[in-house]
Structure 1
Amino acid sequence: MTSTKSGCSFRLRGVFLKPIDWGRNAKILVATEPLWSIPMSWIYFYRSIFLKEAVGLSEVQIGLLSTIITVSSIFLPIAGGYLADRFGRKRTLMLFDSLSWVPSLAIWIVTRNFWYAFAAYLLEGLACVIYSVWDCLLVEDTAPKGRSGIYGYVSLIYNLGTFSTPVAGYLIGSLGVDPGMRILFAVALVSIALMLGIRQTYLRETEVGYQIMKEKEIVGLKGYLSSLSIIRKNRVISALLFVSAVSSFYLSVNIYLSLLLITKNGLGLSEELASWMPLAISLSALTLNIFVVPKLTTRSSYSKTLILSHFFGGLGLTLLIFSPKGVLYPVFISGILLGIYQASSFSVSKTFLTNEIEIADPKARAKILSVTTTFSSLVSLPVPVLAGYLFSLEPRFPFILTAGFIILGLIVIALATRRTRLTFILPLLMNPSSSSLHVLLLKA
């Protein structure tokens, strides 16, 4: 593993932006991430609308299709952890990234019924193999203090995609859902093919990966048993595993967000107005990822940020649930609050987890991350279909359930890091301004 002297340094008038001390793979992965994140963020937001209005599927059918990804993410990450340790991180990443995205997007372009979508989801599910592998390549040649900046930058790039969702909304509003979405699928296919070509050329196997392939002792069942023992003994890693499951639950329900926004018995917004909610989410997430996340370097700062972000996530969903029909501004405010949760649940929890694994046993990283993904998927396995059924009864029901789980995540991380004083939340409750949030987070 390549060590750095000062972690990840970004400097631009006091704002962290420019990577200096990242490892080679981190630079390549982050530089090419927009080629996946931007077009796929548009697709993820509008795909449910495409399936309902253009393909003619019901909410329950849409949930059933989403369950394919959940089932894939139960079993395939375990295989990914084994394959990464046995054959190398880069080889595993490139093989399954290519087998997943290129053919699935090609099918989406010509999708006409349930079975086309079913085949596309099956192929897309192969990407679950590389969840932990991608993380290993991303962080293993960068020092722990630099990793919050890396994950913050990745989250920032994804949110730039959702920030530009109104562009996709204009395209779909102008051309219609059917032709507009097929154009987006084609754009994503070309973009991701370019990304794969660049990564195949410039990525390198990590030093940890080479060591594990040579030593062999952590490969296979023995390695997984050792990793499970580490999780069981480490209270913080166990809590972060649960926080990951809550985030997975939230994302599973989130496939119905666009439908909640536009359906008449939901919030009754137009497709163009609905696109302003992901913009609001991106706005707050970008702010957090630029000004706050790269400056977090301690366990205390990670835990406080996660606690606060879960609080705002629960608050944002509550506001969304009680928003009146046809009114944009409470939806926009809800998006800002949810952006804080989304940014933290990805970049901060990922950094926190990888650094805790670094302390416990860095050679167990691929397998612990695989177990984390599998556990999250098991918890959220019934969620898409359940959420679809609840949505058919009342569009707000799935989001009420999600708000409860987010608050439960807050409690779990607070108990696991109970040495961190929780009285820092009180000033926020008294004065919940964005400036006070920034100051409180940086006090850590």
Structure 2
Amino acid sequence: MLASLVGLTGNARAAIWTEPMWGLSMALVLPYASVFMLALGVPDEQIGLVATVGTVSQVGFGLLGGVITDKLGRRATTAVFDIVAWSIPCLIWAFAQNFWWFLVAAVVNGAWQVTQNSWDCLLVEDADRAEIPRLYSLVKVAGDCSAIFAPIAALLVAQYGLEPAVRILYLNAAVIMTGKVALLYRWSTETRTGRLRLEQTRGVSTWRLLAQYRGVLGLILRSRGTLFSLALSAVVAAVTLVNGTFWQVAVNQRLGVADALLPFFPLVRSVLSVVLFFTVIPRLTHVLNLRRPTLWGFVVYLAGQLLLVAIPAGGDGPTASTYVLLGVCLLLDAFGAGILFMLTESLVALHVDRDERSRVMAIQRTCVMLVVAPFGWISGWLSGMDRAWPFVLTSGLLVLGLVLAARFWVTTHHEEMAAATDAP
């Protein structure tokens, strides 16, 4: 892992080495996002609705993502839509007063699905296919390392209170994310496939390119591997949406953990994830077949969600045993979420048609978001009744993912090539 990090070149180096800037911007404020809404009088159901509307927005932007990426190029698309998706919504969040501000920001923030497509293409299109799982491991590690800045948020909340501190953090995020965009644009170059698609789409209307999605959809429907990776991605994305929206709410409102302590939970989870990515996870994923580590990921993640549900909510606030059990939850989540992020992203990239990567991945992400969209509202409705219930839902989803991986696994091209190389 260290050798891969030091040896990165080209776009992979630009993308991964700028990723820790996420920690000085969005990672500081995300632990407070839902609690901030509660503090402004937004109830659980409306928090869930904001998550669902944001996901629906991602569906629309995701559908356009492939066309935009091909028309503007991977590099320019990432720069323009990162500003739209992060810098602008951060300013809206910083001055938010009620539910409607958060709703508007969620709609604009949905543009990140465009950059998710273009950024992925920028990361992997010029890379060796065999290196793709390792690249996504480094992306996860870079994101996790960014959590070391979490104490900054805790100090601000302790000093100024929740609402003023979160507004400051959102303003900070707008500035830092803009700087991240500028550095990535400066250090990256357009990919070979990107230059080819720029030539092929020059003079072709957006509507005509959208109409061509019919043929791309056929590529997806004819590929068992693509459909399989899409299903796993949808399960993991739904669990991620629910956890990202309500984990902090459950810890804060159900278990009574103080506001100032909330950023330390992502910090601990991220530190554990980094340690696991440099120790256990490479040993599990450095195999020909990725099926077994995927199964382990679902099992361990499921254990963490069930344990969170089982932690008793004491009326007198959290006890020492509460923090111990939360620590175990964080360990299980760090392993499960970490390995599943890396493997599901890698499976999508490994199964995709290389010549149609941007459009295929755009449709895939659109389909995933369509499936995931209702889970924001559903989890908000469940949280309004009992703040442990959203994690009963995620547990069921992880059981579904476990069954899919166990019974319907499709071998990747990478696994087939590796097996052929090792054959006598």
Q: TM-score range by the shorter chain?
A: 0.7 to 0.9
Asked if 1:233 corresponds to 2:222, the answer is: yes
Q: Which amino acid aligns with 1:339?
A: A
Residues 167 and 407 from structure 1, CA distance in 2 versus in 1: closer, same or farther, beyond 3 angstroms? farther
Q: 2:251 aligns with which of 234, 256, 261?
A: 261
Q: How far, CA to CA, are the matches of 1:78 and 1:23 in structure 2?
A: 30
Question: Could you tell me which residue of structure 2 aligns to residue 88 of structure 1?
Answer: 73
Q: Mean Cα displacement is larger for which, 389-398 or 280-289?
A: 280-289
Q: Which amino acid aligns with 2:28?
A: W
Q: For each residue in 1:64-110, what CA deviation from the matched residue of structure 2 results, as whole angstroms up to 9, or x when unmatched?
A: 22222201111211201011123311122211112222221122222
Task: Indicate if the aligned counterparts of 1:212 and 1:363 stay in contact, CA closer than 8 A.
Answer: no
Classify 1:222/1:109 alpha carbon distance in 2 versus 1 (closer, same or farther; 3 Å).
Answer: closer
Is 2:86 the partner of 1:101?
A: yes
- What corresponds to 2:166 in structure 1? 181
* Cα 1:76/1:279, change in 2 over 3 Å: same
Residue 273 of structure 1: how far off its partner (Å): 4.1
Out of 269, 272, 275, the residue aligned to residue 287 of structure 1 is: 275
Q: Is the 8 A contact 1:159 1:285 kept in 2?
A: yes
Q: Is the 8 A contact 2:148 2:267 kept in 1?
A: yes
Separation (CA, whole Å) in 1 of partners of 2:42 and 2:257: 21
Match of 1:162 in 2: 147
Indicate if the aligned counterparts of 1:37 and 1:157 stay in contact, CA closer than 8 A: no
Map of 1:51 onto structure 2: 37
Is residue 59–residue 366 contact of structure 2 (8 Å, CA) maintained in 1? yes
Separation in structure 1 between the aligned mates of residue 55 and residue 29 of structure 2, nearest angstrom: 18
Specify the alignment match of 2:401 in structure 1.
409
Cα offsets for 1:290-339 (capped at 9, x unmatched): 23556645550x22221101100111001110012321111110111011
**CA spacing shift, 1:369–1:38, aligned 2, 3 Å:** farther
Q: Which of 113, 125, 132 does residue 128 from structure 1 map onto?
A: 113
One-letter amino acid of the structure 2 residue matched with residue 48 of structure 1: S
Q: Which residue of structure 1 lines up, in the alignment, with residue 50 of structure 2?
A: 65
* Residue pairs, 1:334-413, within 5 angstroms: 334-357=329-352, 361-413=353-405
Asked if 1:305 is matched to 2:319, the reply is no
Deviation at 1:225, TM superposition (A): 3.0
How far apart, CA to CA, are the structure 2 residues paired with 1:277 and 1:213?
44
In the other structure, the counterpart of 1:314 is 302
1:352 deviation in Å? Answer: 2.3
Alpha-carbon distance between aligned partners in 2 of 1:299 and 1:370, rounded to the nearest angstrom: 28
Corresponding residue for residue 13 of structure 2: 27
Q: What does 1:70-81 correspond to in 2, within 5 Å?
A: 70-81=55-66
If the length of structure 1 is used for normalisation, what is the TM-score?
0.84
The residue that corresponds to 2:132 in the other structure is: 147
3-state DSSP of counterpart to 2:5: coil
Normalised to the residue count of structure 2, the TM-score between the two structures is: 0.87
Between the aligned partners of 2:87 and 2:382, the Cα distance in structure 1 is: 33
| Unmatched 5+ stretches in structure 1 | 1-8, 12-16, 421-444
Change (3 A) 1:247 1:177: same
Shift of the 84–215 alpha-carbon distance from structure 1 to 2, 3 Å rule, reads same
User: Which runs of 5 or more structure 2 residues have no equivalent in the other structure?
Assistant: 413-424
Q: How far off is 1:37 after superposition?
A: 4.3
RMSD over equivalenced CA pairs, Å: 2.3
Cα distance in structure 2, aligned partners of 1:106 and 1:275: 21
Task: Report percent identity of matched pairs.
Answer: 26
CA distance, structure 2, for counterparts of residue 222 and residue 189 of structure 1: 36
How far apart are the structure 2 equivalents of 1:65 and 1:299? 41
1:248 has 2:237 as partner:
yes
Displacement of 1:222 = 6.2
Letter in 1 for 2:251: L
- Once residues 401 and 79 of structure 2 are traced to their aligned partners in structure 1, the CA distance between those partners, rounded to angstroms, is 34
Length, aligned pairs only: 399
How far apart, CA to CA, are the structure 2 residues paired with 1:38 and 1:346? 22
Aligned to 2:419: none
Q: Which residue of 1 aligns with 2:188?
A: 203
Q: Distance between the aligned counterparts of 1:247 and 1:41, measured in 2?
A: 20
Tell me, in whole angstroms, the C-alpha distance in 2 between the residues paired with 1:274 and 1:32.
25
Aligned-residue offset at 1:59: 1.0
The separation in 2 between residues aligned to 1:39 and 1:392, in whole angstroms, is 30
For residues 176 and 49 of structure 2, the distance between their equivalents in structure 1, rounded to whole angstroms, comes to: 28
8 Å Cα contact 1:25/1:137 also seen in 2: yes
Rounded to whole Å, the distance in 2 between the matches of 1:257 and 1:347 is: 21
Q: Please give the alpha-carbon distance, in whole angstroms, between the structure 2 residues aligned to 1:173 and 1:223.
A: 54
1:41 counterpart = 2:27: yes
Q: Which amino acid aligns with 1:35?
A: M
Q: Does the aligned pair in 2 maintain the 1:77–1:128 contact within 8 Å?
A: yes
Write out per-residue CA displacement over residues 16-75 of structure 1, whole angstroms, 9 at most, x where no aligned residue: x6331x44111111111122244212322211111111x221111211222222011112
Bigger relative contact order, structure 1 or 2 (CA pairs below 8 A, ≥6 apart): 2
Q: 1:77, 1:130 within 8 Å by CA — same for their partners in 2?
A: no
| Cα distance in 2 between the residues matched to 1:280 and 1:377 | 29
Shift of 1:118: 2.5
Contact kept? 1:152, 1:290, Cα under 8 Å = no
The CA deviation at 1:119 is 2.6
Distance 1:80 1:154 in 2: 21
Is the alpha carbon distance of 1:419 and 1:182 closer, same or farther for their aligned partners in structure 2, counting shifts above 3 Å?
closer
**Following the alignment from structure 2 to structure 1, what is the Cα–Cα distance between the partners of residues 262 and 85?**
29
8 Å Cα contact 1:34/1:158 also seen in 2: yes
